[in-house]
């Protein structure tokens, strides 16, 4: 009963993705590369490559390498602020990528047009209902609603609130929910609210197939939900884009560095532009140091609050099985309760 209900609720998302399950892998720089993405797709979910700052040539090579590992569909996540965005989209078109996820802002009209001209589907992130409606009018084929519980760059509103704000009002395109999802019960809840599917990132970092350094994975396994905190901005004159990560020595150093740099600016020892640049450069290379090199003290441990639900290293297939079992059990339990009450 629960499995049938889960299949019915997720049909729109599964059809849109062309996957067995309406579960997208979050695009995490350095983590969401060929190995994890292909493992997700091979297990029936929908892997998404994180392009990040890749050049067009590097992206083409990564797509080809992923294709060598899976014959199933996967998508590519592109940052709208990338200076070569249209060239990256051209690479996706050349490589016949079926789904392009545009992150980091409202998708530019030229980008949407290029994606559609290639016959691919364009997805965008909706941080508010007004922006969701605008993106639908502009032609996105699906939306992702990602709340503040997510890892990496975040907005100010919780997933549950955004879902309530957006899901009842967007019916034209599929909507996937992300941020803080670590168990199947949450997936079932959002599907029942009208979501087409979900996106999970943090939950897959400790997959056996993930190339993240063992020390990076152990930091996730040890962390509690409260340890994944947003970066602190100490002065509104020097804005800091909030990033959620596990607190470590670098977290405290970043706050101290802001105070030091701003003090130099106040004394006239630095211009405001120099001070802003010094603050922004603090995290340069920090994610790679943590994910690839295993430097969990001075690196950036980007993680969502669902990190508290990560307890071991295990294969992607096992993680997906648990999520689906939990979702089906939750749906069956509710159906039995409703039947008993009627």
pLDDT score, position 336: 84
Q: 168, 152 in Cβ contact below 8 A?
A: no
Within 10 angstroms of residue 214's Cβ, the number of other Cβ atoms is 10
Q: In this predicted structure, what is the pLDDT of residue 118?
A: 97
Surface-to-core class of residue 312, CB atoms within 10 Å of its CB (0-12 exposed, 13-18 middle, 19+ buried): exposed
Give DSSP secondary structure letters for 131-171: HHHHHHHHT-SEEEEE-TTSSEE--SS-HHHHHHHHTTT--
Rounded distance between C-alpha atoms, residue 165 and residue 142, angstroms: 16
Nearest-angstrom CA–CA distance, 86 and 117: 12
User: Which has the closest alpha carbon to 223: 165, 294, 307?
Assistant: 307
pLDDT at 228: 98
pLDDT in tens, 168-205: 999 999 999 999 999 999 999 999 999 999 999 999 99
Report the predicted TM-score, pTM, of the whole model to 2 decimal places. 0.95
- The conformation of residue 248, written as its DSSP 8-state character, comes to -
Q: Does domain 2-211+310-328 have CATH number 3.20.20.70?
A: yes
Contact between 310 and 202 (Cβ < 8 Å): yes
d(CA 151, CA 80): 19
What local confidence, expressed as pLDDT, does residue 334 receive?
Answer: 85
- Counting every residue written for the chain, the total comes to 342
Cα angle 280, 283, 289; round to 5: 160
Q: What is the pLDDT of residues 40-68, one digit of tens each?
A: 999 999 999 999 999 999 999 999 999 99
- Which sequence spans correspond to the domains of the chain? 2-211+310-328, 224-302
Identify the segments of the chain with pLDDT beneath 50. none
Q: How many CB atoms lie within 10 A of CB 156?
A: 10
């Amino acid at each position: 009963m629960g499995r049938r209900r889960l299949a019915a609720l997720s049909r729109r998302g599964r059809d849109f993705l062309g996957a067995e399950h309406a579960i997208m892998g979050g695009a995490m720089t350095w983590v969401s590369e060929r190995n994890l993405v292909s493992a997700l797709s091979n297990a029936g979910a929908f892997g998404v490559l994180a392009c990040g700052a890749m050049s067009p040539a590097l992206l083409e090579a990564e797509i080809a390498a992923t294709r060598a590992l899976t014959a199933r569909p996967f998508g590519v996540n592109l940052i709208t602020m990338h200076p070569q965005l249209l060239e990256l989209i051209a690479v996706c078109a050349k490589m016949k990528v079926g789904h392009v996820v545009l992150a980091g802002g409202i998708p530019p009209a030229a980008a949407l047009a290029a994606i559609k001209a290639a016959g691919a589907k364009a997805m965008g992130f909706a941080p508010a209902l007004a922006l969701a409606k605008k993106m639908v009018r502009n032609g996105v084929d699906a939306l992702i609603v990602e709340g503040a519980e997510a890892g990496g760059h975040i907005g100010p509103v919780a997933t549950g609130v955004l879902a309530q704000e957006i899901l009842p009002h967007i019916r034209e395109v599929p909507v996937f929910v992300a941020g803080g999802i670590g168990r199947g019960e949450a997936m079932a809840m959002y599907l029942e609210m009208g979501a087409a599917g979900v996106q999970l990132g943090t939950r897959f970092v400790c997959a056996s197939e993930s190339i993240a350094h063992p020390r990076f994975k152990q930091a996730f396994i040890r962390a509690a939900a409260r340890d994944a905190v947003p970066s602190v901005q100490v002065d509104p004159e020097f804005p800091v884009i909030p990033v959620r990560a596990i607190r470590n020595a670098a977290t405290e150093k970043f706050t101290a560095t802001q105070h030091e740099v701003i003090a130099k600016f106040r004394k006239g020892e630095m211009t405001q532009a120099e001070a802003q640049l010094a603050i922004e450069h603090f995290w340069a290379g920090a994610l790679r140091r943590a994910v690839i090199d295993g430097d969990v003290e001075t690196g950036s441990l980007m993680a969502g609050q669902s990190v508290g639900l990560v307890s071991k290293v295990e294969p992607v297939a096992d993680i997906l099985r648990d999520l689906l079992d939990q979702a089906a059990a939750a749906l069956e339990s509710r159906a039995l309760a409703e039947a008993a009450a009627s």
